[in-house]
Amino acid sequence: MTCKCGENEKCTCNDDLQYINTQKSSNDLVPDKLTYQTNKRRMAWILLAMMLFTTLATIYDPTRMADAESILMTQYLSMCGLLGAYFGFSALGGRK
């Protein structure tokens, strides 16, 4: 039996590839990557919409939003952090 690399029966290329494929699938924490990416993208769009709504509500009626200023700032900062983490990890994942 001849392997793709040209070696004879002593070659272990196929065994190594099967081992790598089984290790990759058994260590994979996200079984459905397409759904995972779609959900992350939806989360990012919803966060952007919420940030836009918060900004517009503050511009529209600043006196009403002044009472909840600290809550809005905390909400805005946490949403910015989530979006930054999403884009940052997406960029890092694209480098591989």
Asked if pLDDT for residue 17 goes beyond 70, the answer is no
Q: In terms of residue numbers, what domain contains 2?
A: 1-29
- pTM of the shown model: 0.58
Share of the chain above pLDDT 70, in %: 67
pLDDT tens-place string over residues 19-61: 444 445 545 677 788 888 888 889 889 999 998 998 898 889 8
The single-letter code of the amino acid at 93 is: G
Rounded alpha-carbon distances, angstroms, from residue 71 to 40, 46, 54, 77: 25, 19, 11, 10
Residue 96 pLDDT level (bands cut at 50, 70, 90): low
**Pair (9, 44) in one structural domain:** no
Region 4-20: mean pLDDT is 54
Total of domains in the chain: 2
**Pair (60, 88) in one structural domain:** yes
Query: How many alpha carbons fall within 13 Å on the CB side of residue 82?
Result: 17
Decide: 82 and 47 in contact? Cβ < 8 Å. Answer: yes
**Pair (2, 49) in one structural domain:** no
**Pair (63, 41) in one structural domain:** yes
**Pair (23, 44) in one structural domain:** no
Residue 54's nearest CA partner among 80, 74, 72, 78 is 72
